[in-house]
Amino acid sequence: MDVARRSQVVYVGDFHPLRTTKDMFLHIVEEGAHPGSRRIVLLEEFLAKFNRYLKAYLSGALDVNGLRSKAWRYDRNGSWGGVLSILDYAKEKEHDTQLYGIDVAKGDDKRIDPLAMRTRGIAEQVEQYFHGGEQIFVLAGELHLAADKLPTRLKRKVESFTTIFQYPDELFWQLLPQGLAYGTEAVLTSTGVYCLNTSKSNPLFRALAYSNAELSRKDLGRHNKRALEVEYNQALLNVLMRALTKNANGLGSIDPAKVPVEDLERLVYGTDDKKTVRAKLEEWIPLG
């Protein structure tokens, strides 16, 4: 976190359907702040035009249900819980932390502005908070933080900045052959961007989370985080059983809800031979 502490602006990539990306952002805000500094937290999750509702919630004038009904469109795999934890942190730390929304997309999903236009609008929102001397933490979608997007637009307006991605798919596949896809907390790329290896950030889980989020748009009640995790475990088991082909007998009885996801991920993305993989899977076959 030393680099974050030395930066005026800290950009953090968000994969919107995952709560874990919000939890990690909050950790960065807590641990990456200058000692004794004032902070501004900026979230793409909220439209800037709804800042009056955020202000009302943070001051206690609006309850959580009122905030959700006025400023939140739908829950994505339980990601509201992660957003709410950030809001409540700002509420608790009101003496040194401010929080605002910075998105400029139109409210109608069918009329969202193109990415380039939204990035420009978000940059304008972020820039207006540069002049008070506070340290600024920005949580925005990964596409807005690409090399030619938000950080580049604003780099001449700030003294220093750091960009932190939460393990984009491209980096995962680059590190996998080197044995660095797991067990590595962070990677510094050649462009000076940091990439974190956060829990459940690999391409398969992200794809499932995104698919579930799309279904949530049609069914607002579909956001069972635990069900998504079990579905992910089952997908990993299916990958392993396909790889074992004829040696997969008996493995179909394994309960995906009772298998540690970290162990499954290591088997899927690791370099163990089939015999070792089979032996490990047998430990999870129910007795009797």
pLDDT tens readout for residues 141-190: 888 988 778 888 898 999 899 999 886 666 666 666 666 555 556 666 65
- What is the amino acid identity at position 108? D
Average pLDDT, the chain: 81
Q: Is the pLDDT of residue 52 over 90?
A: yes
Q: What angle do CA 22, 196, 87 make, to 5 degrees?
A: 15
Contact 102, 7 (CB under 8 A): no
Residue 127 half-sphere exposure toward CB, CA atoms < 13 A? 14
Query: Whose CA is closest to 46, among 20, 22, 77?
Result: 22
Contact 105, 45 (CB under 8 A): no
| 286 vs 287, more confident | 286
Q: 25-36, pLDDT tens digit by residue?
A: 999 999 999 888
Q: Is the pLDDT of residue 88 over 80?
A: yes
Query: 186-188 and 194-196: which strand pairing?
Result: antiparallel
Find the range with the poorest average confidence among 48-52, 211-215, 270-274: 211-215
Q: How far apart are the first and last CA of the chain?
A: 50
The CATH code that applies to domain 2-202 is 3.40.50.11550
Contact 55, 85 (CB under 8 A): no
Instruction: Match 């794809």 to its residue by tokens.
Output: 207
Cα–Cα distance measured from residue 264 to residue 281, given in angstroms and rounded to the nearest whole number = 9
Predicted confidence at residue 53, as pLDDT, reads 96
| 280 vs 113, more confident | 280
| 156 vs 262, more confident | 156
Predicted confidence at residue 108, as pLDDT, reads 47
Predicted confidence at residue 161, as pLDDT, reads 92
pLDDT more than 70, % of the chain: 75
Predicted confidence at residue 189, as pLDDT, reads 67
Q: Is the pLDDT of residue 96 over 90?
A: yes
Six-digit token string for 49 = 């035009």
Cα–Cα distance measured from residue 104 to residue 87, given in angstroms and rounded to the nearest whole number = 19
Predicted confidence at residue 263, as pLDDT, reads 85
Location of each CATH 3.40.50.11550 domain in the chain:
2-202
pLDDT band at 62 (very low <50, low <70, confident <90, very high): very high
Find the range with the poorest average confidence among 24-38, 57-71, 72-86, 261-275: 72-86
Find the range with the poorest average confidence among 32-41, 86-95, 238-247, 272-281: 238-247
Q: Is the pLDDT of residue 39 over 80?
A: yes
Q: What angle do CA 179, 143, 176 make, to 5 degrees?
A: 10
Q: Is the pLDDT of residue 130 over 70?
A: yes
Predicted confidence at residue 143, as pLDDT, reads 85
Six-digit token string for 197 = 């290896």
What kind and span of H or E run contains 163?
A: strand 161-165
Six-digit token string for 195 = 């990439």
Cα–Cα distance measured from residue 219 to residue 74, given in angstroms and rounded to the nearest whole number = 9
Contact 88, 231 (CB under 8 A): no
Cα–Cα distance measured from residue 153 to residue 186, given in angstroms and rounded to the nearest whole number = 25
